[in-house]
Amino acid sequence: MKLSKYIDHTLLKADASLEAIKKLCDEAREYDFKSVCVNTCNIEFCKKQLEGSDVLVCCVIGFPLGAMSTEAKVFEAKDALSKGADEVDMVINIGRLKDRDYDYVTNEIAQIKEAVGDKTLKVIIETCLLTDEEKVAACKCILNTKADFVKTSTGFSTGGATFEDVALLKETVKDKCLIKAAGGVRSREDFEKMIELGANRIGTSSGTKLIAKGE
């Protein structure tokens, strides 16, 4: 696979202007990234900007805290798809995971996967807030659903993806689920190491610095 196709070119900041989102889309088209990852209000704009390319539009829901009701997240996922989203990155209810209410966490993921159907669902577990035991538990919840990816981080909490976390997630999910490393991947060395450790996708705002055009 081309290195560029590992990258979800990301802009999720609250103050992101349409001009900045257009630049994101232009770069994604130029570098042939896998997707742009944006907030749901920008889905339709991105679809128009990327028309005629194979760059997907990925969006986030329940972002960045994950503490919304399941019903709100399901609605947000359905709304995102109706606006043209190709992939959905959801945040789990981290508090419920810490409460060891694994049925709640699993059920919520399953409901959102049912809502998105055959579209790709990535599940953000926010590794920086979890113990290793909790990271493994979160992965097991995901494996009990039809979700496609476990994703390390939102990039909006106390830390992003680490090599240790990606290795632990890979050891836990094996080949039953894909892995997205997100947050803090800013050098070519980090990028290549994440892939070597098992990451199938990289969420980053630094994609144009990580690879050369055409890679």
Residues 139, 172: contact at Cβ < 8 Å?
yes
Residue 143 vs residues 46, 103, 178: alpha-carbon distances, Å = 31, 13, 10
Separation CA 136–CA 75 (nearest Å): 28
Q: Is 83 a catalytic residue?
A: no
Is 176 assigned a catalytic role?
A: no
**Candidates 34, 151, 165, 190; catalytic one:** 151
| Catalytic-labelled residue, pool 89, 148, 165, 190 | 89
The number of angstroms, rounded, from the C-alpha of 115 to the middle of its chain's C-alpha atoms is 17
| Pick from 207, 160, 201, 170: nearest CA to 188 | 207
Query: Which helix H or strand E contains 212, and what residues bound it?
Result: none
What's the one-letter identity of residue 26? D
Distance CA 161, CA 159 (A): 7
Residue 2 annotated in active site? no
43, containing H or E segment: helix 43-49
Eight-state DSSP code of residue 149: E
DSSP 205: S
Residues with catalytic roles: 89, 151, 180
